[in-house]
Amino acid sequence: MSKRFLAAALIISASFSPALAAKTSLVIGMPIEPPGLDPTVAAPVAIREVTWANLYEGLVRIDQDGKVQPLLAKRWDISPDGLTYTFHLQSGVKFHDGSTFDSADVKFAFDRARAPTSTNAQKQIFAPIASVETPDPATVVIRLKETSGNFLYYLGWGDAVIVAPETAENNKASPVGTGPFKFKSWTRGDRVELVRNPDYWQTDKTKLETVTFRFINDPQAQVAALKAGDLDAFPNLSAPELFSELKKDARFTAVAGNTEGEIVAGMNNAKKPFDDARVRRALMHAVDRKALVEGAYSGYGQPIGSFFSPNHPAFVDMTAVIPYDPEKAKALLAEAGYGNGLSITIKAPQMAYASRSAELLAAMFAEVGVDLKIIPTEFPAKWIEEVFKNKDYDVTIVAHTEPLDIDIFARDNYYFNYKNDKFKALIAEAGKTTGENARFAKYAEAQKILAEDVPALFLFQLPKLGVWNAKLKGLWENSPVPANDVTDVSWTD
């Protein structure tokens, strides 16, 4: 073993030469290690944060502003009835294993995702598809059963990236895509290394030669690694309490942007007393969102009054609809028949933002005579079982991190047990509306309904606390989709 160490030491000293040209390596820190590297068969956000747009590409992509841009499809035509999408594919695209990308791969990827044996976490994206046809290698025609206003947008997600039939099976451990970077190695528990794809179809697009993702769970260690220069960037720092310190440090750029994660305290709307909108409103009135953000997330994070990401162009600020007002809360509770107090429980996952928010909610509710008992509930295992599946809870608290997921309040049998036919119809309409302005107007209306009806306590948007070397440019400030897209990242000197 010592021989190997010696050899390693020699190699390191040999390769140590002063770098005159701009640096071409990047080391990115992430709090959580992805379980596998295939975004088409599992849900975790961390998978997308390593692979999306770096290793794999879709027909289209989502850009920094949340807009749909062409990628593997250079353009597309949509039939007037909105049911037929014709994609014209880029030519000269190769997978990392050297095989050529063509329409057959698109058909394979989408048919695989919607097959009965599919384990795609967002299978509903593909639900409207009636057929995928390949008239020639450079054209794909997708026919839909019904119009879908967000269909193109969904195709930009990690769940809809194009994978090749020869390699799809092994993508979890050795991913093969068409992206600007190729997979090099994965040391479990520690790091994933990517190298530049020399055959990338957008020639000279990327400046970086190597990209390393390192997984550091502990907030103190994250900051220490940044300061020591072991990491060049931590796009999503998990320690808000340490963020201000880094903001003052001239070596770093520190930006607090938004993620797609709305932190909400969901209530069991089918259960007493939450079936009474007055009680739900009263609890919302009892919450001082600003103090909550201060205590739970050191003041970073935008308070929200409804369920929509500030990253999305259709966002409307609804925090004024039910503002902090303990007196009003008491009055509403008395009106609903709980003037003498109310005792309820909250199932809170172990994540710091959730357990801290739960403790603060308990303190705030106590001010209006509501006794909130905290039941720590292991996430994801127990939470999915008890809250999500069995709906055995009063109140709970999680961040919903999927982009554009307001429709969860319209889903039957979702854990909120919320039933509002008007809202449901509105969301269905919005989903089918292909005109952008008309669709956004419907989303605005939907946000207002939720803000007034409070099926869940809307607390704040989980911030994206990005920290990176001041000489780096091209990293995303917000994350309209979960991603660490490094395609355009470069060093300034």
CB 228 to other proteins: min, Å: 7
Q: Are 391 and 415 in contact, with CB atoms under 8 Å apart? A: yes
Residue type, 83: L
Q: Are 201 and 90 in contact (CB under 8 A)?
A: yes
Shortest Å, Cβ 62 to other proteins? 17
Between 73 and 399, CB nearer to other proteins: 399
HSE (side-chain half, CA atoms, 13 Å) at 141: 8
Residue 244, classed as helix, strand or coil, is helix
Residue 126 or 315: the one with the smaller Cβ distance to other proteins is: 126
**Separation between Cα atoms, residue 146 and residue 434, nearest integer Å:** 11
Alpha carbon distances (Å) from 251 to 248, 254, 363: 9, 10, 39
The nearer residue to other proteins, 117 or 203, going by C-beta atoms, is: 117
Looking at beta carbons only, is 120 or 206 nearer to other proteins?
Answer: 120
Least distance CB 221 / other proteins (angstroms): 4
Identity of the residue, 8 or 22, whose beta carbon is nearer to other proteins in the bound complex: 8
Name the DSSP class of 73: E
Q: Note whether 141 and 19 are within 8 A (CB).
A: no
Could you give the CA distance from residue 230 to residue 76 in angstroms, rounded to a whole number?
A: 43
CB closer to other proteins out of 189 and 198: 189
280 three-state secondary structure: helix
Residues comprising the chain, all counted? 493
Q: Half-sphere exposure of residue 105, counting CA atoms within 13 Å on the CB side?
A: 27
Half-sphere exposure of 215 (CA within 13 A, CB side): 16
Task: Name the residue nearer to other proteins (CB basis): 377 or 478.
Answer: 377
- If the CB atoms of residues 194 and 216 are measured against other proteins, the closer one turns out to be 216
**Minimum CB distance to other proteins smaller for 358 or for 406:** 358
CB of 446 to other proteins, least distance (A): 19
Q: What does DSSP say about strands 191-196 and 181-187: parallel, antiparallel, or unpaired?
A: antiparallel
Under DSSP, is residue 97 helix (H, G, I), strand (E, B) or coil? coil
* Per-residue tokens: 438: 């008309």
Calculate the CA dihedral of residues 246, 247, 253, 256 and round it to 10 degrees: 110
When the beta carbons of 310 and 376 are compared against other proteins, the nearer one is 376
Among candidates 161, 148, 196, which has minimal Cα distance to 71?
Answer: 161
Q: For 229-311, where are the E strands, in sequence order? A: 233-234, 252-266
Q: Which is nearer to other proteins, 223 or 456 (CB)?
A: 223
Contact (CB, 8 A) for 276 and 336: yes
Helix or strand run (H / E) with residue 461: strand 456-469
Cis status of the peptide bond prior to 240, with omega within 30 of 0: no
Q: Measured between alpha carbons, how far is 168 from 172 in angstroms, rounded to an integer? A: 8
Cβ-based burial of 10 (10 A; exposed 0-12, middle 13-18, buried ≥19): exposed
- In angstroms, what is the minimal distance from the CB of 386 to other proteins? 8
The helix/strand/coil state of 135 is strand
In the complex with other proteins, the residue whose CB is nearer, 3 or 272, is 3
Contact, 181 vs 164, CB < 8 A? no
